[in-house]
Structure 1
Amino acid sequence: MNLRKWFFLFWSALLIGAAGSLVTGLIMMLVNGEKTNGMTDFLIYLLILFGSGIMISVYSQMGFFAYLILNYMGKGVFSKRSWQIVQMVLTVLALLDVMFLRLFVGGERERLSDIVLGIIILAAGIVTAYVKVKQTHISALVPTLFFMVAVTVVETIGVLRIDVNAATIFIVVPLLICNAYQMLILHRLVDVSMEQRVNGKTEQIQESHA
């Protein structure tokens, strides 16, 4: 991936994160029946949503590039099959952690929201993995599930500590959208870069023989 492609990924992810935050915030506002005091307050609220979406997108991109580094290191340390098993185990542990850990730690507190959150993250991971496999190859199934589930769970640890369902929804929805977008577009950017290199080498060979 060259610098131009990285800039495209960066700015497009920012816009998608901002759009996801705007839509999520407005839907939550309508569902909760909240109202603003005039047009000025409404515009300020939209600005806050836009800025929050940008920050969530940057956070998502940090997690994405951390995953790329981790995946590169994992392939170097483990065999292909072993690395897939490690990713699946970590994915299951992360999912169980977000769904049931606070249920046990919290005693008698109702943690149904954690189970719902885990189901939502898993569903988003399955849908993203299905689309990714359709676009590429079955080998993309495990890495996509690992990123969409395990990495997303790690990224949501901070908001889970707040223990406010509205804050969790506001963060997790744009985060899942950004993560899914980056995972689904990555192979296109890499493929384009590879095609450009092949075409460049072909042109050089043709010029050398001319």
Structure 2
Amino acid sequence: MTSRNWVRLFFTTLAWGGLTTGVLGFIIRWSEFQDYFIHFKIGSILSTFIWLIGVGLIFSVISQVGYFAYLTIHQFGLGIFRSATLWNGVQLVLTIFALFDLIYFRFEKFAKPNESLVPYIALAIFILIAGLIVAYFKSQQGKRTTFIPALFFMVVVTILEWIPVLRVNEKSWVYLMLFPLVICNAYQILMLPKYLKRSEEERAILNEKKNKSNAPTTAKKSNNKKKK
């Protein structure tokens, strides 16, 4: 990927993370901010919105670090197992374990007496459904073998990126971080091929221009040799 397209991907993902958190933050934490809207506190609304965007930018950076870390791990996995099929099987098993751990360990650590397991399962199901949807669209872009890697990234890597707030288990922060991570991760994995294609096209245009600029020089040299 060219540096120009990498910068585009970086800042576009930042924008998704910031705007998503800025908008959803008011919805998720409505009980805290509703007074601003009821009493038309424009200054408080704007300052809170800017603060939420800043938080979203941090979430976006975490998402991007996680994505490029996964790309590295994915290449190592292919190199170690020397088979895309075997590596996909390993990723599928890890995805199942990650979902199980998300339910079991959170319930064991944070569940109150007589609290239902349903909310913990529902959260894992949401991540799984989001992962399946993104993986489906990813597989439609090219090879079907990309389905499991995309699912692994959307489930396992998202959970790993999500750990800082999972440890705290403050409900509003759990959801506030989850949605931007899912959106930023989905955007990156689905849009990366387009940025790669655009980079190839830009390189082809540059090479064509270089060849045209070098052509007159080559022609002059050949003419000079003929005169001699």
TM-score of the pair, normalised by structure 1? 0.89
The 5 A counterparts of 1:112-131 are 112-131=118-137
Q: CA deviation at 1:205?
A: 7.0
Residue 45 of structure 1 is matched in structure 2 by 48
Q: Report the Cα distance in structure 2 between the residues aligned to 1:145 and 1:116, rounded to whole angstroms.
A: 18
Contact 1:21 1:52 in 2 (8 A): yes
1:6 and 2:3 correspond: no
Please list every run of 5 or more consecutive structure 1 residues that lacks an aligned counterpart in the other structure: none
Match of residue 101, structure 1, among 105, 121, 124: 105
Q: Are residues 58 and 106 of structure 1, via their aligned partners in 2, closer, same or farther at CA, if it must alter by over 3 Å?
A: closer
Contact 2:127 2:155 in 1 (8 A): yes
Residue by residue, what CA displacement relative to the aligned partner does 1:30-72 show, whole Å, maximum 9, x if unpaired?
4777322622211111111110111110111110111111111
Cα 1:139–1:199 change in 2 (3 A) is farther
TM-superposed CA distance for 1:170, in Å, is 0.5
CA distance in 2 between counterparts of 1:131 and 1:189 reads 16
**Aligned position for 1:161:** 167
Partners of 1:31 and 1:22 in 2: how far apart? Answer: 16
Distance 2:149 2:201 in 1: 23
One-letter amino acid matched to 2:104: F
Measured in 2, the distance between the counterparts of 1:30 and 1:98 equals 26
Q: Which amino acid aligns with 1:50?
A: I
In structure 2, distance between residues paired with 1:123 and 1:117: 10
Correspondence 1:29-40 to 2 at 5 A: 29-30=29-30, 34-36=34-36, 38-40=41-43
How far the C-alpha of 1:202 sits from its partner, in A, is 6.2
Opposite residue 170 of structure 2, the aligned amino acid is: V
Per the normalisation by structure 2, the TM-score is 0.83
Separation in 1, partners of 2:33, 2:17: 24
* Deviation for aligned residue 1:135: 2.3
Structure 2, unmatched stretches of 5+, are 220-228
Q: Tell me how far apart the structure 1 counterparts of residues 159 and 147 of structure 2 sit (CA, whole Å).
A: 18
Give the residue type in structure 1 aligned to 2:98.
A
Report % sequence identity.
36
CA distance in 2, matches of 1:202, 1:33: 56
Cα deviation for residue 24 of structure 1 reads: 0.9
- 2:150–2:189 Cα contact (<8 Å) kept: yes
8 A Cα contact 2:110 2:169, kept in partner: no
For residues 206 and 42 of structure 2, the distance between their equivalents in structure 1, rounded to whole angstroms, comes to: 54
CA distance in 2, matches of 1:82, 1:3: 33
Between stretches 115-124 and 133-142, larger displacement belongs to 133-142
Task: Indicate conservation of the 8 Å contact 2:29/2:172, yes or no.
Answer: no
Q: Distance in 1 between matches of 2:209 and 2:101?
A: 53
1:21 aligns with 2:25: no
